[in-house]
């Protein structure tokens, strides 16, 4: 259902407003470069600083422009269960193919609280739901046991795993089986993640290098030794870019890279700020190394 290179879309701004023209341009850039899925209104899309109207608009525009060519997994998470339910209902009505729901940040719920949060969303939609487990941002870590319990519900289909722990992937496959969709949220681990049983990624780097990311994903799941070697080669090309895009808080470096590629401006909303000059140089070097700019 959801696999390969799924891009965590940045949200372009102009004068602190949604830049619809650049956003549509970005979506078509991905359609032309073999991205396998679009993920609007996630953390990379600056969902914490989008108002409700903007959040809904970003999802609606993405669905409209994708025209059913590739799946749209709408970011509908919140630390308020009521708000997460409302956003998920809106995404379903708008025509999304799935929902990416982050674990509730700041509140620090127990494992039972996590279960009840996702159960409430599950009970109010028919969309496939992907759990987004990212302890580094949310403080809490959903256990494999809680995930297994949630997988028994009709709409919970997978996880975006941003723990950075490949052993977690093994544990989850062992407990939940290979049909549970496992996408990594760590660009630097994408190749290893797939070789150990994962099926893809929700990627920041794909904003900047969609074809390289898509090719790497495809080849990494091949049974051909030559194609696996090609995936490894592309992965090595991408590693400096992955690193450069996380020197400062995401998505500020990715937006600067997008500006260098002529895709959109690097305007970002407070409390995030544009990247420092030293970081700009690192991003330029990484883009040049990957032959994305001359």
Query: For the chain, what's the residue count?
Result: 294
DSSP state string for 34-48: T--EEE-SSTTTTGG
Q: Note down pLDDT in tens along the chain; length 294 residues.
A: 899 999 999 999 999 999 999 999 999 999 999 999 999 999 999 999 999 999 999 999 999 999 999 999 999 999 999 999 999 999 999 999 999 999 999 999 999 999 999 999 999 999 999 999 999 989 999 999 999 999 999 999 999 999 999 999 999 999 999 999 999 999 999 999 999 999 999 999 999 999 999 999 999 999 999 999 999 999 999 999 999 999 999 999 999 999 999 999 999 999 999 999 999 999 999 999 999 998
Beta bridge partners of 132: 102, 160
Positions marked active-site: 132, 160
Residue carrying the six token digits 């630390």: 79
CATH class given for the domain over 4-289: alpha beta
Task: Give the helix/strand (H/E) hosting 81.
Answer: helix 81-94
Residue 226 neighbours by CB distance under 10 Å:
9
Which pTM does this prediction carry? 0.97
Distance, CA of 54 to CA of 56 (rounded, Å): 5
């Amino acid at each position: 259902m959801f696999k390969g290179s799924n891009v965590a879309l940045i949200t372009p701004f102009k004068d602190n407003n949604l830049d619809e023209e650049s956003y549509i341009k970005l979506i078509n850039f991905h359609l032309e470069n073999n991205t396998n899925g679009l993920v609007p209104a996630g953390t990379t899309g600056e969902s914490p600083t989008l108002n409700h109207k903007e959040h809904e608009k970003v999802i609606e525009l993405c669905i409209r422009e994708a025209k059913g060519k590739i799946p749209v997994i709408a970011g509908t998470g919140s630390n308020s269960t009521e708000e997460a339910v409302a956003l998920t209902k809106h995404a379903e009505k708008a025509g999304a193919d799935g929902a990416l729901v982050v674990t509730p940040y700041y509140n620090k719920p127990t494992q039972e609280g996590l279960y009840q949060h996702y159960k409430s969303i599950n009970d109010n939609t028919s969309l496939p739901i992907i759990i987004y487990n990212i302890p580094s941002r949310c403080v809490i870590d959903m256990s494999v046991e809680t995930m297994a319990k949630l997988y028994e519900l009709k709409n919970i289909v997978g996880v975006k795993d941003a723990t950075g722990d490949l052993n977690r992937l093994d544990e989850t496959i062992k407990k939940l089986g290979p049909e549970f969709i496992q996408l990594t949220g760590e660009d630097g681990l994408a190749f290893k993640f797939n070789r150990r049983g994962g099926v893809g990624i929700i990627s920041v780097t794909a904003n900047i290098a969609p074809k390289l990311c898509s090719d790497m994903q495809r080849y990494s799941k091949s049974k051909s030794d030559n194609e696996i070697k090609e995936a490894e080669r592309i992965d090595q090309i991408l590693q400096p870019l992955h690193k450069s895009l996380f020197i400062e808080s995401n998505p500020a470096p990715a937006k600067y890279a997008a500006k260098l590629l002529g895709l959109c401006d690097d305007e970002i909303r407070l409390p995030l700020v544009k990247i420092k000059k030293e970081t700009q140089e690192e991003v330029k070097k990484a883009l040049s190394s990957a032959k994305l700019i001359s």
